[in-house]
Amino acid sequence: MYVPGGDVSKAALAVHKSLPFASIEAFKNCKVDTLDNYVKSKKIERIDFVKIDVEGAELLVLQGMQSILRQHRPPILLVEVFPDWMTDFGDHPGDLLKFLHQFGYIFSYVSKDGLISVQVDDTNIPGAPDCLAPNFLCIIPDIHSRKLLHLGVNKLPF
């Protein structure tokens, strides 16, 4: 785990080249696990919602929760994506969208104007000034639409 300039809010599993910090502290003995393993070990039977904010390692997290994504009722996902930091892991936001699409997810990002639909093959991922690190709402319409309406999300972009 790398902590740039003592700022634990930017701690990550990779050194981010775009961060202008003079010092980066490395922690070598951090225990990590997949969400699939954690859920199994804790005997958690149901997950409705997952928020992912992992400083560029989003695809790694999703790959570690494939059993959850294959469930009869997979969770709604809210994934913060900072494209520059994903590249430090060798990934691109489009990789994330393609990975989730195989499970039936569709995507919107949260903007100041509400939810904006994003297609799997979009190469124009939103960024500043609309949003520096977009939060993607990832849903499977047949499974999640009714739940979102009950939560007060009444304008879905599909």
pLDDT recorded at residue 156:
62
Model pTM?
0.85
Cβ atoms of 56 and 12 closer than 8 Å: yes
Residue ranges for the chain with pLDDT beneath 70 = 122-133, 150-158
Indicate whether 156 belongs to any domain: no
pLDDT recorded at residue 128:
40
What does R_g of the chain's alpha carbons equal in angstroms? 16
Indicate whether 7 belongs to any domain: yes
Residue 15 is part of which domain span?
Answer: 1-32
Structure tokens at 98: 């393609």
Indicate whether 76 belongs to any domain: yes
Q: Distance between CA atoms of 31 and 123, rounded to whole angstroms?
A: 34
Where residue 34 falls (left for φ over 0; alpha for ψ -120 to 50; beta otherwise) is beta
pLDDT recorded at residue 129:
43
Indicate whether 66 belongs to any domain: yes
Both 99 and 143 in one domain: the answer is yes
The string of DSSP letters for 125-155 reads ---TTT-SSPEEEEE-HHHHHHHHHHTT---
Both 62 and 139 in one domain: the answer is yes
Both 7 and 84 in one domain: the answer is no
